[in-house]
Amino acid sequence: MISLSASNSLNSSHAVHGLAVSVQNVGLTYTTSIDKRPTLKARLKSLGRGKKHTRVVNALSQVNLDVHYGTVLGVIGSNGAGKSSLMRVISGIVPPTEGRVEVHGSVSTLLALGVGFNPSMTGRANVYLGGLAAGMSRAEIDKQFDAIADFSELGEAIDAPMRTYSSGMYARLAFSVAATVQPDILIVDEALSTGDAHFKEKSLNRIKELRTADRALILVSHAMATIEDVCNEVAWLHKGKLMARGNPAEVIKQYREFTNAGKSAAANEDV
């Protein structure tokens, strides 16, 4: 979990249809605090009352998943199914409790939050900090920066503090970073649905451009139409278990039957 591989494998080449990510018997159980903001005061106040402060979450169990280069894998499932947890395990942010994950390439992650870890700094500073934290060198970011700024269409706002950004601007910058750095493996977690119609379409097109034989994409989304449109494989997670995996149309059909959601407009609506 220590090294994010962005820096050390930009030049590596891999066999077409070679293994990109191998998830082997992965289980994830973690303890988290019940309070949003755990405090010592709350702890002391409830001393001896037997109140619980933490709960154990069984996020994933016995998940096996191989992703090959050239694959665009859609991950679907209801809320709390473990989709985001699986993405965090694959990108090395949270180590698994069981099993093993092998990653053969550089990973760029666009998980729910994206860039912008310090809102009082400018968009530019945040892009640099995010890249440096991911293990890229300053020269690499310099090389990509203009393309990122262009794609985000933020214009001069790139040099304004990020606290002045709207949520759409946040999302645009985040997507631009993740999609511009040309990773071997791109993980996008429900980040396509923010932004206006124009940017949504632009990012979807960008995803389609990124579908090459030497790259693997993993998309997490609730928008079945997008998944069916973009992906060539779909994995369905339910309560931490892998329920089905394979042809997008088939898996989505199974998932719909399971949830009784039907092919309603609401499920298709958003990207």
User: Could you give the C-alpha distances from 119 to 61, 167, 170, in angstroms and in order?
Assistant: 36, 12, 10
Both structure tokens of 29 = 């159980």
Among 46, 51, 117, 257, binds another protein (CB under 8 A): 117
Site string for another protein, 46-85 (x = CB under 8 A): -----------x----------------------------
Q: Name which of 54 and 264 has its Cβ closer to another protein.
A: 54
Q: Name which of 52 and 198 has its Cβ closer to another protein.
A: 52
Q: Which of residues 16-45 bind another protein (CB under 8 A)?
A: 18-19, 22, 30-33, 37-41, 43
Among 70, 78, 80, 118, binds another protein (CB under 8 A): 118
Among 77, 82, 105, 123, binds another protein (CB under 8 A): 105
The stretch near another protein (CB under 8 A) out of 7-15, 73-81, 144-152, 227-235 is 7-15
- Nearest C-alpha neighbor of 71 from the set 104, 99, 101: 104
Q: Name which of 110 and 179 has its Cβ closer to another protein.
A: 110
Site string for another protein, 122-141 (x = CB under 8 A): ---x--xxx-xxxx-xx---
Burial of 31 (C-beta count, 10 Å sphere; 0-12/13-18/19+):
exposed
The Cα–Cα gap between 249 and 231 comes to 10
Kindly give, in sequence order, each residue whose CB lies less than 8 Å from that of residue 165, ignoring residues fewer than 6 positions away.
Answer: 116, 123, 157, 173
Query: How many degrees, rounded to 5, is the angle at CA 219 between CA 218 and CA 223?
Result: 160
The Cα–Cα gap between 238 and 240 comes to 5
Strands in the chain per DSSP E: 19-33, 54-68, 72-76, 98-103, 107-110, 185-189, 216-220, 233-238, 241-246
Tell me: does residue 91 bind another protein (CB under 8 A): yes
Tell me: does residue 114 bind another protein (CB under 8 A): yes
* Residue bearing tokens 């199974």: 254
The Cα–Cα gap between 234 and 231 comes to 7
Task: Please give the size of the binding site for another protein, defined by CB under 8 A.
Answer: 67
CB of 119 to another protein, least distance (A): 9
Tell me: does residue 112 bind another protein (CB under 8 A): yes
**CB atoms < 10 A from the CB of 94, how many?**
18
Tell me: does residue 92 bind another protein (CB under 8 A): yes
CB of 219 to another protein, least distance (A): 16
Residues of this chain that bind another protein (CB under 8 A): 1-5, 7-9, 12, 14-15, 18-19, 22, 30-33, 37-41, 43, 57, 88-107, 109-118, 120-121, 125, 128-130, 132-135, 137-138
